[in-house]
Structure 1
């Protein structure tokens, strides 16, 4: 499995219908740091590739809690990875960022702070 696909699977877990524990945050932060991607690229992966595929889970009464189907998730993220090259898609994602990420944005910002701190220390 490609590194980016591992990131998609890991980041998608933010949208699962379960509370997150500190150890999960730390594990995901380590994956993000080890990816070697910049904070800007990780934010693009989050907003343009993963969020459009999984955000609906936060809006249903009994959402997925044990993990998204990997085939379904990876297919959608690959498609979104191609669409993010189009200005209209990026604009749509920016317009709908709040509805797509309202339940996970605080967790994401915490993760990005951990990544930024690690990158400023050199890893």
Structure 2
């Protein structure tokens, strides 16, 4: 059985933790994304429009979360953002704030995409 959307949210949330991810972390996240069966473009939209708007402040705070986000809180927030994706306002806000929302997570995201591509080959 493949990973569900909640598994994807939880795996992607690691990109916003206040610590440096290692190679095994990138492989784990890529494995969860692969198991979801979702196309890369949908995974990118989940990253940009569901997870990033909820977690981006963690990288900008003085003492951000480093151990992991509460799954129930994460799922509720990402689910709200998933429903908001239908809204032009939400999509516009995500585009406007893309750089600050993904500034610290983007290098890690690119590493995960490389691992995902390797797993698919």
Mark yes or no: TM-score above 0.5.
yes
Who is 2:21 aligned against?
Answer: 20
Who is 1:9 aligned against?
Answer: 10
Who is 1:38 aligned against?
Answer: 39
Structure 2 unaligned blocks of 5 or more: none
CA distance 1:13–1:87, shift in 2 (3 Å): same
| Cα-Cα RMSD | 1.4
Is the partner of 1:100 in helix, strand or coil?
A: helix
The aligned runs of 1:54-93 (5 Å cut-off) are: 54-93=55-94
Is the partner of 2:11 in helix, strand or coil?
A: helix
Residue deviations 1:87-115 (CA, integer Å, cap 9, x gap): 22111101111100100101112212332
In 2: Cα distance, 1:66 partner to 1:111 partner: 19
TM-score (norm 2): 0.91
1:105 aligns with 2:109: no
In 2: Cα distance, 1:118 partner to 1:23 partner: 13
CA shift for structure 1 position 117: 4.5
Residue deviations 1:35-87 (CA, integer Å, cap 9, x gap): 11111000001010001111100001111111111121111100000001112
Partners of 1:29 and 1:114 within 8 A in 2? yes
Partners of 2:8 and 2:33 within 8 A in 1? yes
In 2: Cα distance, 1:117 partner to 1:16 partner: 24
Segments of 4+ in structure 1 off by > 3 A?
116-119
Aligned length: 119
